[in-house]
C-alpha cells in the first residue's frame, strides 16, 4: 500500500520530507480504504510501515480500523531508497509465522519491488496511486520472479467497494 495523500513536498512548515503528514483528505481516503478492506474480509498478520510520518499515519489508520494496532511495526527497510534486498531479508525472517503482511511505503519503491517479485526485474510498469494497494502472492520471497500479481486497486476503486 502506498501512503495516502500528504502535505505537498516543500510546503511551509514541512521542509523536511520525512515529516510530511497526511492531509485531512488523505485521512478520510484511508478510512474509506479501511472500510473496503473490512468489506472484503482483508486481514493482516503484520503491518510493516515506512517510518516516515505520512506512511506511519496511513498504517496507523489501517491498523486501528482493522483492530490490529498490536500488529503494526515500523521498518527502515520501507523508507524511500532502501534496497529491496534489505526488505526481502526482513520479510523472509517474518515467514512462515506471518503469511499476510501489509507493507506501507512510497513510490517508486513499491512499484519497483512489485516488478522485481512478479517479473524478475524492472519490466513491469506499475504505478501505485496515493493510497493504492496491490496484492502479491508468493510462497518464498527472493530478488527474482517469485510472485503472482493477484490485483492492483486504486483509491477510487476501494471507495466504490466501501
- Report the first-to-last Cα separation within the chain, whole angstroms: 17
Per the domain annotation, does 105 fall within a domain? yes
15-20 CB contacts, 8 Å cutoff, 24+ apart: 17/52, 18/51, 18/52, 18/53, 19/53, 20/52, 20/53, 20/54
CATH of the domain at 76: 3.40.50.1240
Residue 9: which residues within 8 A CB-CB, separation 6 or more?
17, 20
Per the domain annotation, does 31 fall within a domain? yes
How many domains does the structure of the chain reveal? 1
Per the listing, cell 517479485 goes with: 117
Burial level of 158, CB count in 10 A (0-12/13-18/19+)? buried
- Residue 15: how many CB atoms within 10 A of its CB? 10
Q: Is 92's pLDDT higher than 90?
A: no
Per the domain annotation, does 4 fall within a domain? no
Q: Is 117's pLDDT higher than 80?
A: yes
Per the domain annotation, does 137 fall within a domain? yes
Per the domain annotation, does 7 fall within a domain? no
Contact 145, 138 (CB under 8 A): no
Per the domain annotation, does 122 fall within a domain? yes
Structural domain including 72 reads 17-161
- Residue 34: how many CB atoms within 10 A of its CB? 19
pTM of the entire predicted model: 0.95
Mean pLDDT of all residues in 44-63: 97
Instruction: Please give the backbone phi and psi of residue 106, each rounded to the nearest 5 degrees, phi first.
Output: -135, 160
What pLDDT, in 10s, does the model give residues 121-149?
988 999 899 999 999 999 888 889 999 99
Per the listing, cell 513499491 goes with: 110
What pLDDT, in 10s, does the model give residues 21-33?
999 999 999 999 9
Per the domain annotation, does 127 fall within a domain? yes
H and E: helices and strands count for the chain: 5, 5
Amino acid at each position: 500500500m502506498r501512503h495516502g495523500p500528504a502535505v505537498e513536498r516543500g510546503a511551509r512548515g514541512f521542509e523536511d520530507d520525512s515529516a510530511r503528514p497526511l492531509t485531512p483528505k488523505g485521512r478520510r481516503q484511508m478510512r474509506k480504504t479501511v472500510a473496503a478492506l473490512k468489506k472484503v474480509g482483508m486481514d493482516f498478520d503484520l503491518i510493516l510501515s515506512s517510518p516516515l510520518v505520512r506512511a506511519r499515519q496511513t498504517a496507523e489508520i489501517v491498523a486501528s480500523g482493522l483492530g490490529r494496532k498490536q500488529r503494526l511495526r515500523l521498518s527502515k527497510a520501507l523508507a524511500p531508497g532502501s534496497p529491496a534486498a534489505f526488505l526481502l531479508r526482513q520479510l523472509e525472517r517474518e515467514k512462515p509465522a506471518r503469511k499476510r503482511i501489509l507493507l506501507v511505503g512510497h513510490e517508486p519503491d513499491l512499484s519497483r519491488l512489485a516488478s522485481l517479485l512478479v517479473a524478475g526485474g524492472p519490466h513491469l510498469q506499475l504505478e501505485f496511486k496515493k493510497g493504492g494497494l496491490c496484492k502479491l502472492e508468493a510462497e518464498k520471497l527472493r530478488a527474482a520472479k517469485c510472485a503472482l500479481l493477484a490485483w492492483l486497486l486504486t483509491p477510487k476503486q476501494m471507495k466504490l467497494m466501501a
